[in-house]
Amino acid sequence: MENYFLLFKTADAEKRAWRNLVAQRRSAITPIVELSRGKKKRNAGKDADGKPLTAEQLLSTFGVYGFERNWQTSLELLGDCEWFFLDLTREPSLSCAEIEQISGSNNGYEKWTSFVLDRRDEGISVRPTLIVNPAEEDDETSYVADLRSQFNTFASNFSEIAYRVAISEDDEFLFDLISLKGEIDSFQGSGGRFFVILDHEYVRPGNGLVHSKRTKQVISSIYSELKQVEIVVLATSFPKSVTDIGDEEHSIFRVEEMFLYEEVKKTHAKIKYGDYGSINPVRNDEVIITQGWRPRIDFVSRHNGLNTYYFREKRKVVGTTEVVVKGERKTKNILAPYSTHYRSVATKVTSFSPFYQAIRSSWGEDEIVAAAGGSVGSNSPSHWISVRMEIHISQVLKHFGCDPI
């Protein structure tokens, strides 16, 4: 199916969700793989005196992150896809020196086109995404020349090409498409397919109608120049922190990306749907948790439209103990085990009628049922992000009526 495009940002939680998604469902999705920097290497990111590098220094220093291992493991994981788009992260906090180097505009984005072609030559079913990353000294002539050179290299080697734009930030992207109009028309005339991915990134629940009105106008402008392009409306509404939009212990909110898509589709029937698999564009992996976390489980429901709900709990104090801190005796609370709370919130999730639904052949739903029964698969928040993502993907396929299970 080409009507569900999944932005895959290559974090460990997303890889776990993908591994546990049954093969038939994986085959029903077209991933857009956004390569990111990977994990920071142990003891890397320090200067000669052992002092931690600043964020700016980290971005300009090679070998700090495991970028190569990350893209290798990510592409291996996607190996059974018929084909998928390859892209580089546009999120500064997920970039690194290697990505900055690959995305340079020199010689028609030579390093990027070579990187994609090398992956194709290795037998990986990649399709390219156009990179737009001009150097500060580039003028308009060199800007367009590099973009055309990149497009022509890809057009000579692939039958599908994508162009992804952050629609809320880049209101001048139509210039790129107009600059490539002749090349795109020729490519399509030879049987090629050109996808324009309108990436809304994070859309706050409740704001889909506002975004849809603007997006409809943008799409009309694109069609006025390029009538045959295939447009993907991409977004996510899962917040960076659930308490940004919900209560401390429980809330439910609309899967706004689906609402946005369905609103735009009323005007532009041929558009395709895309989302982040319930992953927020900005990761929390730089955050150091020192005070523990509140166990939380999310569930994506198809009751009354697509909605996500969650239950979370503050860990209970079950006793006290005496500890010595810097020579001074203090009383420290003893908290209930994480597994106790994960079992409790899993029970609340499965009891939330009529929104809770059993999902056939869903690893994520099985994990929640097992936790409610006392067998908690993991106490890691990352594990439960994977559970949510696997359920989200399964429910989106069911919502479209194309779940192959």
The tens digit of pLDDT for each residue in 192-244 reads: 999 999 999 999 999 999 999 999 999 999 999 999 999 999 999 999 999 99
pLDDT digits (tens, 9 = 90+) for 268-284: 999 999 999 999 988 76
How does pLDDT run across 249-275, given as a tens digit for each residue?
A: 999 999 999 999 999 999 999 999 999
H or E element that contains 344:
helix 338-350
pLDDT surpassing 60 at residue 352: yes
pLDDT value of residue 284:
66
- For residue 174, the model assigns a pLDDT of 95
**Distance (Å, rounded) from C-alpha 134 to C-alpha 124?**
28
Q: What is the model's pLDDT at position 233?
A: 98
- Residue 49: CB atoms within 10 A of its CB come to 5
What is the per-residue pLDDT across 136-175, written as a single tens digit (0 to 9) for each? 999 999 999 999 999 999 999 999 999 999 998 898 999 9
Rounded to the nearest integer, the mean pLDDT of the chain is 93
Could you give the CA distance from residue 136 to residue 36 in angstroms, rounded to a whole number? Answer: 23
- 32: which strand partners? 7, 85
- Which pLDDT belongs to residue 101? 94
Question: What does the angle CA 362 – CA 363 – CA 366 come to, to the nearest 5 degrees?
Answer: 90
Give the H/E segment covering residue 319: strand 317-325
- Among residues of the chain, what percentage have pLDDT more than 90? 82
Q: What is the pLDDT of residues 282-325, one digit of tens each?
A: 876 655 566 789 999 999 999 999 999 999 999 999 999 998 88
pLDDT higher for 52 or 174? 174
Q: Find the DSSP H helices in 1-105.
A: 12-20, 23-26, 55-60, 67-77, 97-102
Q: Which residue has the tokens 């029937």?
A: 269
What distance in Å separates the CA atoms of residue 259 and residue 221, rounded to the nearest whole number?
Answer: 22
> d(Cα 104, Cα 134) in Å, to the nearest integer?
7
In this predicted model, which residue has the larger pLDDT, 45 or 89? 89
Residue 1 has pLDDT above 80, yes or no: no
Strand partners, 165: 198
Mean pLDDT, to the nearest integer, of 58-74?
Answer: 90
CB 317 within 8 A of CB 260: no
Q: Are 36 and 70 in contact (CB under 8 A)?
A: yes
pLDDT of 397:
97
pLDDT score recorded for residue 290: 63
